[in-house]
Structure formats: structure tokens, C-alpha cells
Amino acid sequence: MADMRTPLGKVRGLGSAREGTGHFWKQRLTAISNIPLVLFFVGLLVAINGADYAQTRATLSSPFVALPLILVLVSVLYHMRIGMQVIIEDYVHGELNKLALIVLNTFFTVAVGVVAVFSLLKLAFGG
């Protein structure tokens, strides 16, 4: 017997991952937070460029520098992960390749974040 369900009935509960505009919104949210954070980061680099090892360590281990820097990393990495996912989705059409790159994108972002944050924590607490 033919399927009597309407087209809408067939797709209900199947289609979207229920995130809808989530990426759009998070991209904007992190774009806004990136502005002051990146300006802080650039200002920091301008201020300490040319500093030697001891001065750099002293600066980076200060909570007034380390904490904003962790925020810089989280905000920037989150933003770039979504951005790169959009690029992958736009240009990579093979389902398997696309999925693999999206997974790699997340691994890369998390790896950079973990290593960078660990370095900051080591500077702050490791002596």
C-alpha cells in the first residue's frame, strides 16, 4: 500500500540537528568578544616585544595577562573552528572527506587550545 503520510509528516523529527542558527549566533558572539580580546593581545605584544626570557615569563605569569590570554585563546579558537567548518562545508563535497575534515578541524582547534593554555598555566603555576 502506498505511503499515506504527507511529505511534512515524513521529515518531521528527522531533518535538522536542532541547532538551527546556533553556529550563526556563536560566530557573531565570538566575533564580538574577539574584538576587545584581540586588541588586548596585540597591545600586549606591542608592549613586550623585544623583552627577554625573564621579562616575558614574568609578564605572562601575571593573572592580569594570563587570564585575558586564556579568554583570547578560547574565543579565537571557537570562532575559527566554526569558520573553518563553513569553509569545509562549502568546498568539500565528498561526504566522507567532509566528515573527516570537520573532525580534524575540531581536533586541531582543541589541540592548539590545550597546548597553549597548558603553557600559560605552567608559566603561572610551574615557577
Partner 1 sequence: MRDTIPGGAMSQSTATRQRPLSPHLTVYRWPITMTMSILHRVTGGALYFGTLLVAWWLIAAATSEEYFNFVSWLYGSWFGRLVLFAYTWVLMHHMLGGLRHLIWDTGAGLEKHTASKIAWATLAGSITLTVLIWIAGYAARGGF
Site residues, partner 1 (CB under 8 A): 28, 31-32, 34-35, 38, 42, 45-47, 49-50, 53, 56-57, 60, 73, 76-77, 80, 83-84, 87, 112, 115-116, 118-120, 122-123, 126
Distance CA 106, CA 31 (A): 18
In angstroms, what is the minimal distance from the CB of 53 to partner 1?
A: 4
Do residues 30 and 79 lie in contact, with contact meaning Cβ atoms separated by under 8 Å?
yes
Q: Judge contact between 123 and 69, C-beta under 8 A.
A: no
Which of 88, 90, 91 shows the shortest CA–CA distance to 104? Answer: 88
Our CB check for partner 1 shows the closer of 45 and 99 to be 45
Least spacing, CB of residue 84 vs partner 1, in Å: 5
**Which residue's CB is nearer to partner 1, number 15 or number 50?**
50
CA dist 45 and 60 (Å) reads: 11
Nearer to partner 1, 10 or 89 (CB): 89
| Residues recorded for the chain | 127
